[in-house]
Amino acid sequence: MGAGAATAGRRPTAVLVAVHPEDGDGSGPGSETSLAELTRLADTDGLTVAEAVVQNRTRPDPATYVGSGKVDELAAVAERAHADVVIADGELSPGQVRNLEERTGVRVVDRTALILDIFAEHARTSEGRVQVELAQIAYQLPRLRGDGRALSRVGGGRMAGGAGMGVRGPGEMKLETQRRRLRQRATRLRGNVRELARRRERNRGRRARNQVPSVAVTGYTNAGKSALLNRLTGADAEVQDVLFATLDPTVRRISTGDLTYTVTDTVGFVRHLPHQLVDAFRSTLEEVSGSDLVLHVVDAAAPDALEQITTVHGVLHEIGAGDVPELLVLNKIDVAPAGWVDALCRACPEAVPVSALTGEGVERLRAELAARLGRR
């Protein structure tokens, strides 16, 4: 990092940079919605966002992402903020990263690197860590540099992927050696992921033979999926007000009268979810495509709730779960404006409004789940 490197006791400081297409929508890169989400992602990764630099243009500059004059402005903002890192609201090419770093004197990362960093920090099980590391390698390989910078962590926590990949540090390994070791590591990890996929397939087959219906809980990150699962099952899975708190699927059984079914909490989705993560987590996401019902949890307090629903539907189609029956749940109605909840209910007339925190609407949800699964 440059002169603005974080000191002990101070969270690293970030400056955001974005290109907002002149014909872009209200939730695309560079929009207020997207930048607000990027700020939350940075906060989750232990960073403090000082300022954002946005340029309206048809498409990103192929060399520097934003235009040359805007790069000068970005450099001045980064210097004034004593920034440790610049984060782009989009995916950058290796050349764009290199050119921006040369012009600003500050480390530059993109939205994908930030999300991968958060996933690495939040993975708790060996299965989650294997899948995250595989995604990191897919992202890092085309971006490796002789100084090892592509392998170091973005935010203020542990080294993401460093220990697992056996990386010694800047300057100690030649570039080709790094590439070879990462490719070898990726081959071993893919073998691990294939075994995980076979194990999950066996478990799904066992539940199907026992005629136990399965429900996959999915939705946008931080929609309250784990809290709702706790309310439905009486369990105490981890609940945090941060993005991507849950990465490792949790399977629980629920009995209602004569009906017993399983409920699986899955990883949350986000706009522009890195394709490296979708590929690496495919065995986990297959829990959704192999389920009898998708319980799609929506943050009813979010002003962009409808756009979040569209994002989740896009990912569900990408992983082959677009045709699985869906039950939409509008969560957090206890903190959402009443008029907004009413508008969401009109837009999604089959949705069930609930509050995982207070329990409001949960009995209706249980009844709807039993009815849907009972007639499957």
Return binding residues for GTP: 219-226, 244-248, 265-268, 331-334, 355-357
Dist CA 121 CA 143 (whole Å): 21
92-104 burial, b at 16+ Cβ within 10 Å, e below that, comes to beeebbbbbbeeb
Which residues are part of a known binding site?
A: 219-226, 244-248, 265-268, 331-334, 355-357
Place of tokens 């080709």: 176
363 contacts: CB under 8 Å, gap ≥ 6: none
Q: Is 126 helix (H, G, I), strand (E, B) or coil?
A: helix
Dist CA 263 CA 293 (whole Å): 10
Amino acid at 79: E
| 206-209 contacts, C-beta under 8 A, 24 or more apart | 207/262
User: Which DSSP category does 29 fall into?
Assistant: T
Q: Is 259 exposed, middle or buried (0-12, 13-18, 19+ CB in 10 A)?
A: middle
| 58-63 contacts, C-beta under 8 A, 24 or more apart | 58/21, 58/22, 58/23, 59/19, 59/21, 60/19, 60/90, 60/96, 61/19, 61/96, 62/93, 62/95, 62/96, 63/95, 63/96, 63/99
Which residues are part of a known binding site for Mg(2+)?
A: 226, 246
Q: Is 299 exposed, middle or buried (0-12, 13-18, 19+ CB in 10 A)?
A: buried
Check: CB of residue 67 under 8 Å from CB of residue 99: no
Strand blocks (E) in the chain: 13-20, 48-56, 85-88, 107-110, 214-219, 250-256, 259-265, 293-299, 326-331, 352-353
Which tokens sit at 46? 């232990």
Dist CA 296 CA 312 (whole Å): 8
